[in-house]
Amino acid sequence: MPLITTGKPFIRDLEQSGALGVYAPLEGGFEGRYQRRLRATGYENMSLSARGIGDIGAYLAGVHGVRPPHVGKKEIRTYFIPPIIDTRLATMPATAKGLVLWLIDGQVLSNQELAYLAQFPTLEPRVKIVIELGGDRQFRWVKLADIASS
C-alpha cells in the first residue's frame, strides 16, 4: 500500500454498497486517515462503539429507554432518548453528502445485527455504515452484505 492514499476506491465502494466492514492494522492510524478522506468529500462522521449498544434498530432509528445505574434506595427511572441517527441527520448542514456511522469493535456483533446494518442504508439512503471487524496486516474492506450472508 502506498504511503499516501487518496481513499477514492474506499469512498466509491462505500457509496455503491452503503455498508462496509473494514480490517485495519492493530497499531492504528489508518482509520483516522480514511475518516478524514470521507470528511473531505463532504460526509459527516459519527463514531460509536458497538459494545453495549443493545437493540441496534431501536438505538439508531427509534426512541429508546435508558436506565441509569440504581444507587441506593432511589426509585428506578427510565429516561427516553431520541433516535441518534435522526437527530444527527436533522442537524446536518444542507451541503453535506450524508452521514457515515463508523462503529468500532464490530467483532462483537452477531450475523443478524450485521445483516440489519448491511440493509440499513436502503432504509435511510443518506446514511453509510463502516464497521471495524478486526485486525489485519493492511487496511482492507469488504461489503458488509457479503460478511452477513456468510
Is-contact 101 130, C-beta < 8 A?
yes
**110-128 per-position pLDDT tens digit:** 999 999 999 999 999 999 9
Q: Is 3 exposed, middle or buried (0-12, 13-18, 19+ CB in 10 A)?
A: exposed
Q: Model-level pTM?
A: 0.87
Cell of 7: 481513499
- Assign 77 a pLDDT band (cuts: 50, 70, 90): confident
- Looking at residue 146, what is its pLDDT? 87
How would you write 43-59 as a 3-class SS string? EEEEEEECCCCCCHHHH
Instruction: Name all domains of the chain by residue range, CATH numbers in brackets.
Output: 8-149 (3.40.50)
Structure confidence at residue 3 (pLDDT):
46
Q: Give pLDDT, residue 142.
A: 94
Q: How confident is the model at residue 32 (pLDDT cuts 50, 70, 90)?
A: confident
The rounded distance, in Å, linking the Cα atoms of 130 and 104 is: 9
Burial pattern 63-93, b for ≥16 Cβ within 10 A else e, equals: ebeeeeeeeeeeeeeeeeeebbbeeebeebe
pLDDT greater at residue 109 or residue 148: 109
Average pLDDT value for the chain: 89
Q: Is the pLDDT of residue 81 over 50?
A: yes
Number of other CB atoms surrounding residue 40 within 10 Å = 11
Closest alpha carbon to 104 in 34, 13, 22: 22
Confidence of residue 30 (pLDDT cuts 50, 70, 90): confident
